[in-house]
Amino acid sequence: MKFLKWLLIVVVVLVLAFFLFGKSYLTEQTKKNSPEQTATYVNNGMDLSVNYSSPFKKGRVIFGELVPYDVVWRTGANEPTTFTSGSDINIGGKNLPAGSYSLWTIPGKETWTIIFNSEIPDWGVTILSGGKKTTRNIEADVLQISVPVQQLSQPIESLSIIFEENEQLYLSLAWDKTKVSLPIKK
């Protein structure tokens, strides 16, 4: 009986030590492999930003293998990608209220579904699933839009999320030989 009591105490101490010290160490280590990036756009009455961790291709086949088709992806590494707008905007013909959102995607061969979710979880995937299952709460989805895939002639080594402005403002995500763009208006 004493042994079980001491075993329980040791397990509790180890779990607490992990959450107090180990988690921040692991976060720091993973960000070396997938550095944090921020894209901003401040113009035309809009103040937009995207914060994400940018993993590298490293010779891997990205879409369809590392990132499976037709499965929700946290869109980057580490914590979920976040999208913040200082004002109400229109994305692909749908209204998105001002605020901060987690950004999720469902990559497909021909089209991607882009999802804006009102909850921003700590990590974005479950540890027990080995990173294959997301922590997205479907009921907190605010907006979903489908966009066509553009094939690139040259691969992009690390995930890139940028704002591009021609006649129209776009939020573009590109990695490997795949690119998708979301039209944004005020």
Give the tens place of pLDDT for each residue, 51-100.
999 999 999 999 999 999 999 998 998 888 999 999 999 999 999 999 99
Count of residues making up the chain: 186
Mean pLDDT of 102-110: 96
Q: Judge whether residue 29 has pLDDT over 60.
A: no
Using alpha carbons, select from 182, 177, 180, 174 the residue that is nearest to residue 152. Answer: 177
Q: pLDDT, tens digit, for every residue of 14-23?
A: 665 555 554 4
Confidence label for 32 from pLDDT (cuts 50, 70 and 90)? low
Structure tokens at 27: 């976060």
In angstroms, the Cα distances linking 12 to 5, 26, 157 are 11, 19, 42
Task: Give the count of beta carbons closer than 10 Å to the beta carbon of residue 66.
Answer: 14
Task: Report helix, strand or coil for 92.
Answer: coil
Tell me which of 34-38, 89-93, 107-111 is least confident: 34-38
Count of CA atoms in the C-beta half-sphere (13 A) of 25:
6
